[in-house]
Amino acid sequence: MNTQAVMRRVTDPHDFGRVAVVMGGSSSEREVSLMSGKGVLDALQGRGVDAHAVDGIPALLEAVRGGQFARVFNILHGQHGGGEDGVLQGALEALHVPCTGSGVLGSALSMDKVRSKWVWGSLGLPTPKFLPLPRGADVHAAAHMVGLPLIVKPASEGSSVGVSRVFDEADLDAAVALAERYPGDLLMETLIQGEEFTVSILKGEVLPSIKIVPKGAYYDYNAKYVAEDTQYICPGLAGAAEANLRALALQAFVALGCSGWGRVDVMRDRDGRNWLLEVNTAPGMTSHSLVPKAAAAAGIDYAELCWRVLETSFDQERETGNREQGVAGAGSSSRFPVPGSRSSDQGGAA
């Protein structure tokens, strides 16, 4: 499934020039990023790319301003020094240095789960009922509006950081206290009880979905990065259900202005309805990560996956050139949160 124009393929590693693999950083997801970065660096170097590790945004920008790198493979995760929130993308764009993955708009919108949901809701795409929670908000009043069971989480973190499932109002204050350990506002949303899926997108191609079956109650940080007993079923669905899920993921990805590569997380309830959770614009690339698993199911090994992600930096290079010639796009979002949509198996909903 490919809806984008043919993107550049590279056969000679020298065409990439000197590549910075930026990892680590100062976000709450630093350790995951370092694990991802090591895998990417080893894979690229193993295929002859002149790739070098750089830890964090300040060191990267200093090196880039010094003319040390031709392009950047961004495998930072998270916000506030995590390189996934549009800040790094804007700095590199200003310096005319291409980077892998989404640009400023797609990165910033995807990192902000509240605004992601406003955009999806304005387009009729299904996402769980939710409320943004500015710090100091009446969380108990919000819980009565959303209804139990519910999820409380930071609005702009990843890797299940600060996330709590709340089944009893007596547990609400502890859930809020956990989420408030992280910067920014909070998000409260309906807990969709059912099965968890993720869909990876690579250069316009939608890869097979993965059904995630953790041994514990849900897919938390331990299940993602530590446990060896989480099951990954790929493809997660079959026939029309799989096609609808992939179509929905691509719609969600494009709606937020994302490009290059990424991963869309979805819940499927007990009635077979799909509900969008979030988009990751610099997904994990560890031994437990999901994009490499989906790529392998599509016949793309880890080293080839890293190569193709690096190729997306050429697409960013082209997009920057278009903007400099006056080609620009515009986007908008609803001001108010909109609950999920209406159809029963709305993977292809518009």
Domains along the chain?
129-191 (3.30.1490.20)
Angle at 57 between CA 110 and CA 25, to 5 degrees: 75
Measured in whole angstroms, the distance separating CA 130 from the mean position of its chain's CA atoms is 19
Highest mean pLDDT (candidates 1-10, 180-189, 214-223): 180-189
Local structure of 139: helix, strand or coil? helix
In the structure encoding, which two tokens stand for residue 280, read together?
A: 């990751």
Helix (H) or strand (E) holding 250: helix 239-255
Query: Distance between CA 196 and CA 66 in Å, rounded?
Result: 45
Look at residue 348 and tell me whether its pLDDT is greater than 70.
no
Phi first, then psi: give them for residue 154, nearest 5 degrees: -60, 145
Local structure of 3: helix, strand or coil? coil
pLDDT computed for residue 229 by the predictor: 76
Indicate the pTM of the whole model: 0.84
Look at residue 296 and tell me whether its pLDDT is greater than 70.
yes
- Cite the active site residues: 29, 159, 225, 263, 265, 278, 280, 284
Least confident segment among 46-55, 238-247, 311-320:
311-320
Q: CA torsion angle for 259, 32, 178, 195 (degrees, to 10)?
A: 60
pLDDT computed for residue 5 by the predictor: 46
Least confident segment among 228-232, 235-239, 245-249, 287-291:
228-232
Query: Distance between CA 83 and CA 25 in Å, rounded?
Result: 8
Which has more pLDDT, 322 or 237? 237
Look at residue 322 and tell me whether its pLDDT is greater than 80.
no
pLDDT computed for residue 318 by the predictor: 54
pLDDT, the chain, mean: 86
Which has more pLDDT, 83 or 281? 281
pLDDT in tens, 129-173: 999 998 888 999 999 999 999 999 988 776 567 899 999 999 999
